[in-house]
Every structure is written in structure tokens, then in C-alpha cells.
């Protein structure tokens, strides 16, 4: 029979407090205000959540429109090559448009 697994963890908050209690932090971890003193921060929990980077926001409206336009133009050029032309140029341009649409799709948030 296998021995029981070790239990890890334990109390992560100070004795006499609850995880939902507001926490005040001062000292070296706090940022200084304009007067040179320490600023007090009030958190709902003890966990730090980093601010969201500016580039992680929502994409501009032109990104999905460009993506769809590249897909449509690429598909139409590939179909037009088989219907109207005997040259490979529309096929190459159509594939480039499809790849551009895929690249634009990776930038859409």
C-alpha cells in the first residue's frame, strides 16, 4: 500500500485575519507620493495583480475589416485565376492575400 501523500500549504494570512479583510501596505513595497512619504494601498486580497499593458487592449475596428477583406480578395483572385487567366500571377497574389489575412488574424484581440 502506498504511503499517504504529503499535505502542503497551510495558513497564508496572519492569525486573527481573514482573506477578505482589507490589507494596508506601507514601507519599501509601497510607492512614494509627490510629498516624499509612503503611499498606502488598500487591496481586497493579499494577491498582487499587475496592471494590464496598453497594447493588450482591444484592437482597432480596421483590423477585422482588413482581415476579412484580405481573405475575400485572396479567394476571389484564386478563383479568377481558374476562370479567366492562364497565368500564375493571380494565384501568387491570392495566396499572399490569404497569408496576409492569417497574419492579421493573429493581431486581432
Task: Give me the pLDDT at residue 51, please.
Answer: 80
Domain that residue 65 falls in: 54-106
Q: SS3 of 38, please?
A: strand
Whether the predicted pLDDT of 93 surpasses 90: yes
Alpha-carbon separation of residue 63 from 25, 58, 93 (angstroms)? 42, 10, 20
What pLDDT band is residue 2 in, cutting at 50, 70 and 90? confident
**Closest to 46 in 3D by CA, of 14, 17, 19:** 19
Asked if residue 11 is part of any domain, the answer here is no
Asked if residue 10 is part of any domain, the answer here is no
Total number of domains in the chain: 1
Asked if residue 39 is part of any domain, the answer here is no
Report which of residues 42 and 77 the model is more confident about: 77
Percentage, residues of the chain above pLDDT 70: 63
Amino acid at each position: 500500500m502506498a504511503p499517504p501523500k504529503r499535505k502542503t500549504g497551510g495558513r497564508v494570512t496572519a492569525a486573527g485575519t481573514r482573506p477578505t479583510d482589507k490589507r494596508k501596505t506601507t514601507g519599501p513595497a509601497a510607492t512614494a507620493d509627490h510629498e516624499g512619504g509612503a503611499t498606502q494601498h488598500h487591496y481586497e486580497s493579499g494577491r498582487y495583480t499587475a496592471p494590464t499593458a496598453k497594447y493588450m487592449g482591444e484592437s482597432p475596428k480596421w483590423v477585422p475589416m482588413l482581415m476579412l477583406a484580405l481573405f475575400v480578395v485572396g479567394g476571389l483572385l484564386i478563383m479568377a485565376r481558374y476562370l479567366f487567366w492562364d497565368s500564375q500571377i493571380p494565384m501568387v497574389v491570392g495566396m499572399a492575400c490569404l497569408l496576409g489575412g492569417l497574419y492579421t488574424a493573429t493581431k486581432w484581440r
